[in-house]
Amino acid sequence: MSDQCHIYDLAVSFAGKQRAYVEQVVEACKEARLRVLYDRDQAIELWGRNLITSFRQAYNGSQARYVAPFISKEYLASPYPMDEFRAMLVPAIENPEDYILPVTIGDVVIPPELLSPAVGFLRSEDFTPDQLAHAFERRIRGSRGIRRTDAPSPAGTVTHPLRMPVTTPGNFSKYAELELSFRYLTEQFKVAAAQMSNAGFVCTVRNSESELRVRVEQRGKTLYAIDIQLGGMHRDDVLNFVLGQGGWSGGRNTSNGSASVVFDRTAGAPRLEMLDLSVFGTPGTTESYTKEELFAKLWGRLVDQVQQVADDH
């Protein structure tokens, strides 16, 4: 990474609740003539694009020399900042001590599987935005091996990025990813359910820490029912899917499909491998999805099934 030409000196990642503080840091960094990748500056470039994919590219080491995650309780609980953080982990394998510059905000405990306790970090409470920007400037300007984009390449150096071996990050956790995917599906089903009334249906979503139940009704008749469970069929490392008839669920010893987490080394990100038994109507097939793709597939299947049943009646 140190021999790459980067567009930015620093990319920042944060939860929305901390935007006001981070934006002040960003402005101070710009005044110090640091090139900072900040989402609001990219509004036109990101217009109409897939934001998740675009920001993964922003944090994967190809655009910025350093990344600064502003880690708070909200950061650890939010799907999008955590997706950005996972994108940082792949280039960090190559330079584990020379890529991620973490800053904590508030009383937050960083899980050791996400960031080694041995990694140094700064506390936002100890710095004003101007002081933190100065700290970034000192760290970035003082780094060895930094080359500005307009600097000539020394003789004998590689002038284009070389492909390097990519392995699964040491702190990758299938259980953490599984819980993140479960929370994401829960949030998305709740958002989508609220819009079903516009189509003349009632969609209810109930969830606990380990189970999500989705029911679609019309005039009191259940048209579609699915349960999504953390664990099932005597396993604790899968999402288990159970289809219901008339709202009945067979519990954790029944399965119409299951999804397990794998790390896709080509994409540098986790994916869900879905074994379909009857959820999508393709028994015995296995497909790989991001959590976003899996929700879209599940919701599309729900709509198709509801529409079919409604038409039959």
Residues above pLDDT 70, as percent of the chain: 79
CA distances from 234 to 251, 254, 284 (A): 12, 10, 19
Residues whose CB is less than 8 angstroms from the CB of residue 70 and which lie 6 or more positions away in sequence, other chains included? 12, 13, 14, 15, 18, 21, 22, 103, 104, 105, 124
Residue 92 has pLDDT above 80, yes or no: no
* pLDDT score of 53 more than 90: no
Residue predicted with more confidence, 92 or 60: 60
Whole-number pLDDT of residue 160: 44
pLDDT of amino acid 304: 92
Q: Is the pTM of this model over 0.85?
A: no
Name the residue with higher pLDDT: 282 or 169: 282
pLDDT at 310 over 90: no
The four Cα atoms 251, 255, 261, 262 give a dihedral, to 10 degrees, of: 160
The amino acid at residue 208 is S
pLDDT at 142 over 80: no
pLDDT at position 5 = 58
Average pLDDT over residues 82-106: 76
Confidence of residue 207 (pLDDT cuts 50, 70, 90): very high
- Whether residue 4 has pLDDT greater than 60: no
Question: Under CATH, which architecture does the 8-141 domain have?
Answer: 3-Layer(aba) Sandwich (3.40)
Q: Backbone phi, then psi, for 90, in 5-degree steps?
A: -65, -55
Angle (CA) 86 6 51, round 5°:
45
Write the DSSP string, 28-88.
HHHHTT--EE-GGGGHHHHTTS-HHHHHHHHTTTSSEEEEEEEE-HHHHH-HHHHHHHHHH
The domain segmentation of the chain, as residue ranges, is 8-141, 174-312
